[in-house]
Chains A and B, each alone.
Chain A
Amino acid sequence: MLKDTFLSRLDALRLAMKHPAHGGSGGMRRSKRLGSSAEFSDFREYVAGDDIRRLDWNAYARFDKLFMKLFMDEQEAFVSILIDGSASMAEKRAETVRAAEALSYLALGGGDRLRITWLGEGECRQSALLAGRSAYPAAAEFISGGEMRGRISLPEALQKMPPLPKGVSILLSDGYFDQGMGQTLDFLRYARQEVLLVQLLSAQEMNPTLQGALRLRDAEGAGEVDLLLDGAALRQYQATLHSFLAQTREDCLYRGAAYMLLCDDAPFEERFLPALARSGMSVE
């Protein structure tokens, strides 16, 4: 569970959506429909049957004619947090859990409905539909109970999931997939999801300190590779890493998805909010 001080900082924020919400009424997000929110939208002439509480008496005094004030309707959004539960994420489990909890808190605090899904090897484990800040402990408990093991293919795992309602999907993964993130993002786009990809890498992955002749064995069982890790090899790794991150960012940009990179090389509370702001997925 995140610290209260950090959660209080999250209270001032909510998840931003580029498109109007299409969820149920009573939410806090602006929808395309006109409704009862305090946000003014337009005027129209009064017709019989209209709610006289919304008559604009000032306009009547000035023009001697009845005008109705029209307001935007506010609806709740549907937020899905999808967690990559493969073995490669095990090293980043703590970071992943913290990020998922923070995002859950933001979603619940923003009046959105939230469902958390662990994408595991051969199965997907979904939480109940959660709403309201009061559901945060349940969300945190579900998040911390997830397992990270085996290999998964994100597109296949998403296809096996129950259909996602239109809304926001937040995908937490390290992005280590041979086919890249494009296919996954395309699938979510097809499912009318506004996507935030949170890419999680450990400090060891960002700046490896391995040296010597090593046989590197994949935690997901994806084989081994023999390398003489010297300065040149590590420099080449950095070049490969930067190319990989740039490609992932480009995949997101090309598909209109927000992108956020998290690395556990500093306290989470210091890194999360700046990274979220850079991704454009938070508003005050």
Chain B
Amino acid sequence: MTFLHPLLGWGFLSLPIILALYLLKRKYEIQVVPSTFLWKKTARELSADRPFQRLKKNILLPIQLLIAAALVLALMQPVLTGNVGGETLMIFDLSASMQASEAGVSRLDEAKAAAGGVIDGLGANDALTILAVGRDTRQLLSRSTDRDAARRALNRLSATNGDVDLSGALSLAEAMKKELGGLNIIVFSDDFVPQSGVAVHNAAHGAQNRAALSFYAEGQTGYARVANFGDDAEITLACYAEGELCDARTLSIPAGETAGATLHVPDCRWAYVEIQEADAIAADNRAYYVFGEDTQYTVAISEDAGVFLESAVNLREDIRLLRVSDEELSGIEADAYIYGTDALFFSLDAQQTEITAAEEALEVPSGESIALSGADELTASLTLKDVAVRAYRPLTGGRSLMRIADHSVMAAGERTVALGFDIHDTNLPMKYDFPILVQNILNDLLPEGAENVGEGLCGEGISIRLRENGDSAQVVLPSGARVALDSSGNFTQTDEVGLYSVVENVDGAVETRYFALRMPSSQSDVRSVAPSVEADGSSANFESGRPLNRVLIACALVLLMLEWVVRRRVA
């Protein structure tokens, strides 16, 4: 046991003072009376009537001394210390799952309460460091012995809506441990895998949660997917168009399964589906869809293009692929076309004429390899390391971007970009360079609009492509707060779940566009109970300290009442 304010122990001097006052108070004034005959009888009757009378002298003084002692001890704030002392580092997991409410208390609140117990149990000279791990790691308290500051730091903690990575904080903890020696590391988390030398407060006890995983609309039909991270349940899913209820469905979803629902969505700029039943995490009960205007590109792609190419193109969420045969290609209305077998063309025209490929394929000479012709936006970030090409057809037209033995094998025109080899004759699709190359080409031909965001995840920075002729831009958060955007369009305040709006001044007019951010679905599954033992099997739990001042104050009150009862009975 330790005392947080030992200097207040001077208060014990009140005990002899009370004793002295008591003794002085008990001095009787002598009064001579003709006879004590009747007074003795009176005293006997009083004693007989009041059993407490006889005890009065014996009880009141010790009671009063005990009251004073209890109050002085309470002021000294005695604490039963836990097994945590010296230097202590607390690491708080602020991931979205820490919002999960179990028995009315969120995991983070439970963790904060446990941490409060640890703080109560620290000795007067024990230092505490607090790290909060959200999107990034923040140091809220650094080796402080100030309990009030520690509690204030705890109060400032709030769960984010995103994923977190505790590894950075643990690395920092390990570095501190090496520097300080006996550092107690306590992680307050709900999915931390115990490690040797790290105590864990496991805030996860298993909770029932449902999440709206996604919502997509095409025309007036919305497609929603809902996951049930709990027991078998019937879930009511309501659809709102710009806040107005427009449709609802009841879904029976077995435990651990997902289910889809089709809902009617009227013409609107944005809509969302919402799970009506309360569950562990409220933040994942909504999924938004923002209708884009001219944001959806349709790209016709030859059905022989192959899965690698399709996957690379699909990385652009604003592109809808239409797989067609080469014969059908010219009859399809699309924003761009990807076709060709011996050579691959990315073109805005179904039949481009800017760039032509040689009729005859050439073998790559011995000792030659594919190489960049020079720096260009289309080949930015490409290395072409270990890329091999079996045969190629030299390209004519456009500017050359890649070469093999002085032959252009990648060329770019105004409306077309061509690769002078069959992608089945090269290992390029299996290299990191391939999706980069495809995205570079698509970005050149089909530049992403300002509505490029559409939907994203909380906690991740996003890049908003601003209008070229815009004067200023702001992002209005779901909470209503406004954040100015600089010309780069990089936006990092993505902690809130919900609908964001981008407000721009374009040629004197205000244009508003929307995007929505949601919780990562990995955070929605809060069924699991994290283990709370160390990797070596030993218990990783810690004992919290227990402040005794409340107990002492309660004792003082009880004694005060007892003293009052005794006084009342004898008076």
Contact = CB atoms under 8 A, between A and B. Distances in A.
A225 interface: yes
A94 interface: no
A240 to B, nearest CB: 5
Given A213-B29, A236-B49, A244 B35 contact: no
A233 B49 CA distance: 11
A218 B36 contact: yes
Contacts of A174: 34-35
Contact of A217 (B32, B38, B41): B32
Interface of A: 87-92, 174, 176-178, 202, 205, 210, 212-220, 222-228, 230, 232-233, 236-237, 239-241, 244
A217 B33 contact: yes
Given A236-B45, A236-B49, A218 B35 contact: yes
A89 B570 CA distance: 33
B38 A240 contact: yes
Nearest to A230: B571
Contacts of A237: 38-39, 42
B34 A88 contact: yes
B332 interface: no
A228 B54 CA distance: 12
Interface string B543-571: 00000000000000000000000000011
B30 interface: yes
Contacts of A226: 28, 43
A11 B42 CA distance: 43
Interface string B11-38: 0000000000000001111111111111
7 contacts: A176-B37, A213-B27, A214-B28, A222-B36, A222-B37, A236-B45, A240-B41
A274 B33 CA distance: 28
A230 B38 CA distance: 16
Nearest to A239: B45
A179 to B, nearest CB: 11
Contact of B46 (A205, A213, A236, A241): A236
B156 interface: no
A226 B46 CA distance: 12
Interface in B269-316: none
Interface residues of B, number: 23
Interface of B: 26-43, 45-46, 49, 570-571
A215 B36 contact: no
Residue from B26, B35, B43 having most chain A Cβ neighbours under 10 A: B35
A143 B34 CA distance: 21
Contacts of B41: 240, 244
Nearest to A214: B31
A241 B30 contact: no
B55 to A, nearest CB: 14
Nearest to B33: A216
A220 B35 contact: yes
A235 B362 CA distance: 130
A205 B46 CA distance: 18
A96 to B, nearest CB: 12
Contacts of A88: 34-35, 37
B28 A215 contact: yes
B230 to A, nearest CB: 68
A268 B351 CA distance: 146
Contacts of B39: 216, 225, 227, 237
A221 to B, nearest CB: 10
A214 B43 contact: no
A219 B45 contact: no
Contacts of A212: 29
A49 B507 CA distance: 171
A222 B33 CA distance: 11
Contacts of A239: 45
Contacts of A210: 31
Given A217-B36, A225-B40, A237-B42, 15 more contacts: A88-B34, A88-B35, A91-B34, A176-B34, A213-B28, A213-B29, A214-B30, A216-B39, A218-B36, A223-B36, A227-B42, A227-B46, A240-B38, A240-B42, A244-B38
Contacts of B45: 236, 239-240
